[in-house]
Amino acid sequence: MNKEESFQKRLAKAQEIVSQLHKNFPKKGKTNQASDVSTKHQEAYLTMRQRAIKYIGIDRGKSYGQVKKILEKTFPEKSASNPQLVEQVIQDLINDQYLDEYLCGRRIIKRHSGRAQKSKEYIRQLMFRQGISKQTISDLVLEIDDDRVTAEAYRIIKQDEWEISQPEKVMRHLASRGYSTSICREIVRKWLDEIGTDE
């Protein structure tokens, strides 16, 4: 037997072993699939799941609400007649780590920080409108600094662009970013006091 034949035999044997192992392992994403779905609804479940995975793609940072909206739009009759099925599909995708609402929420927090800083309540409302579940929002809001801290950091970044003759405009600007009247006054007063000290 020459080297080429010996190599081909070893390769065929290795492929056979891998093929056997593949059959013995559960397929990825199947661990929780159809966990509580009756046989009658298995096909609908699988079709919905495939559509949701296609929508999510390689980006896991979608919200519960976004996926739910897509499934309800794509399968209006099935969603209306069996809303629990939609909920089950989404919950299984979260359990199988296809869907990560925390990633989605943290992106929103990051987008609205620094030069684009918003208040904690403003960001909470943005996450709610994005369809992130209440529990996830409650967890993520704890990761955001107190409004006084973020408003002060925002002042330091932006104060060179503010016009000293228009403090009311600055207050309206801060209020438009979700800050309370008391925090807006506090920040503007601090800004004006610092300018007065520097002169």
The predicted model scores a pTM of 0.73
The separation between the first and the last C-alpha atoms of the chain, rounded to the nearest angstrom, is 94
Print pLDDT tens along the chain (199 aa): 565 666 666 666 656 665 555 444 444 444 445 455 566 678 889 999 999 999 998 888 899 999 999 999 999 988 888 899 999 999 999 999 889 999 999 999 999 999 999 999 999 999 999 999 999 999 999 999 999 999 999 999 999 999 988 999 999 999 999 999 999 999 999 999 888 776 5
CB 64 within 8 A of CB 99: yes
Task: Give the amino acid at 65.
Answer: G
Domain limits of the chain? 101-141, 147-198
Distances (CA, A) of 168 to 2, 122, 123, 157, 185: 89, 21, 24, 19, 9
